[in-house]
Amino acid sequence: MQRCFTLTLARHSRLLLRNKFASVRCHQSAAMSSLLINQPQYSWLKELGLSEDNLGVYNGSWGGSGEVVTSYCPANNEPIARVTQATMAEYEATVQKAREAWKVWADIPAPKRGEIVRQIGDALRKKITTLGSLVSLEMGKIFVEGVGEVQEYVDVCDYAVGLSRMIGGPILPSERPGHALLEQWNPVGLVGIITAFNFPVAVYGWNNAIAMTCGNVCLWKGAPTTPLTSVAVTKIVAEVLEQNNLPGAICSLTCGGADIGTAMAKDEHVDLLSFTGSTHVGKLVAMMVQERFGHLNLVVPSAVFASVGTAAVEQYLAAIEQAKQQGGTVVCGGKVMDRPGNYVEPTIITGLPHDSPIVHTETFVPILYVLKFKTEEEAFAWNNEVKQGLSSSIFTKDMGRVFRWMGPKGSDCGIVNVNIPTSGAEIGGAFGGEKHTGGGRESGSDSWKQYMRRSTCTINYSKDLPLAQGIKFE
């Protein structure tokens, strides 16, 4: 009787366990099916090598055992897929592998490095529509701008290919006979790249293509809210490196939050840190890098939020309320749109004094403050009195005003436009701002110099040993 009862209990236990595991599998299946990546209309995400769960560390091989984050689409607040971020141990291991990879990469002639960058550009071209769609889905910008971001990376790759045959310093006339004086440019080593959510592809592309051409290796930490884009881009780049039998750690990735960003800022093994993000975080990063006498390329175009979701909507409403309290009148827009997702109306506000606190606050939301001025000097002064200094523009047919606007008493921004909007910039010119916008430059012009160290070299090919300035020790 006891034996019979035991067998019955055992069968009942196995039945309960089977039911429990079936229930768990059912819940897991439901959770997976709720991800956008598993819905038929988003099956194209898998063409980028993405899946329900993605590893967020790459240093020649894929890994990641840190916090698991879910990426959400800001258009509808639905989950897209998950990414496992880096632990501190994985970050440190990735830095070590990147520095080992630099020993290989630095020995490759610059034109050959340019050829690899060209291949990266071609690989991005092949997936430009799909990758642009991912940017739109994960970041929230419209599709054509998502594609435009990828195109910008492609264009910078093309630019970097030409640059690979032009890097060099001048040969200077020496005051000493039998001497040659010249400048030699060499890569700094490991370039850390921290990018913001609002441009999850282009900003990395500016840095990556130029830094690689200059002979550096890169370590990327993208925004925590756009990790799928970081993973997808890295997969494309990694494939090119693999096809050329090059170490994958040349272009490493460590997805993560503030802990990884802080580690990069404090890490003496990171020879140059390029940071794009908020002014507040930029100040903290600058102090950490300066404390170790590191090199920093700081571009802080705006008070970037951690998400384009509900937090940004709340900031939008708060800014409108502050503007009203300070004497402003909403003449257009001003409302949250009644639809799924995080949509608001573009807003125009008038009646505010030029020195209103809200006018001087960069809220990073679609609000335009219209101010009336009486003189050119007044308008120029109002443009320059704010702490931000990225981009500015005037519309005029007066050629004198055009050159005054671009001159020493004109706009103090890093980007100064005439008869075009303030948004957008061509890759041939250096991108960056002044004042609280950081002062760093990326992309074109001579921005490549920031990714290199300069040595002034003197070669004595005479039989004498003369000193400069005619100094003689008697």
User: Domains in the chain and their CATH numbers?
Assistant: 36-302 (3.40.605.10), 304-374 (3.40.309.10)
Instruction: For the chain, report the end-to-end CA distance as a whole number of angstroms.
Output: 116
Cα 134 from Cα 122, distance rounded (Å): 18
Cβ-based neighbours of 169, under 8 Å, separated by 6 or more: 182, 183, 184, 185, 454
Burial zone of 34 (CB within 10 Å; 0-12 exposed, 13-18 middle, 19+ buried): exposed
| H helix runs in 221-349, sequence order | 227-243, 258-266, 279-291, 310-325
Query: Using an 8 Å Cβ cutoff, are 298 and 440 in contact?
Result: yes
Q: What is the chain's pLDDT, residue by residue, as a tens digit (474 residues)?
A: 333 333 333 333 333 333 433 333 433 444 555 999 999 999 999 999 999 999 999 999 999 999 999 999 999 999 999 999 999 999 999 999 999 999 999 999 999 999 999 999 999 999 999 999 999 999 999 999 999 999 999 999 999 999 999 999 999 999 999 999 999 999 999 999 999 999 999 999 999 999 999 999 999 999 999 999 999 999 999 999 999 999 999 999 999 999 999 999 999 999 999 999 888 899 999 999 999 999 999 988 654 443 487 888 999 999 999 999 999 999 999 999 999 899 999 999 999 999 999 999 988 899 999 999 999 999 999 999 999 999 999 999 999 999 999 999 999 999 999 999 998 889 999 999 999 998 889 999 999 999 999 999 999 999 999 999 989 887
What DSSP element (H or E) covers 28?
helix 2-33
Q: Is 5 helix (H, G, I), strand (E, B) or coil?
A: helix
Q: Is 103 helix (H, G, I), strand (E, B) or coil?
A: helix
Q: Strands 171-172, 442-443: parallel, antiparallel or unpaired by DSSP?
A: unpaired
Burial zone of 101 (CB within 10 Å; 0-12 exposed, 13-18 middle, 19+ buried): buried
* Joined tokens for residue 187: 């890569």
* Joined tokens for residue 217: 């290796």
Cβ-based neighbours of 312, under 8 Å, separated by 6 or more: 305, 342, 364, 365
Q: Concatenated DSSP letters for 113-142?
A: HHHHHHHHHHHHHHTHHHHHHHHHHHH---
Cα 55 from Cα 39, distance rounded (Å): 21
pTM of the model: 0.90
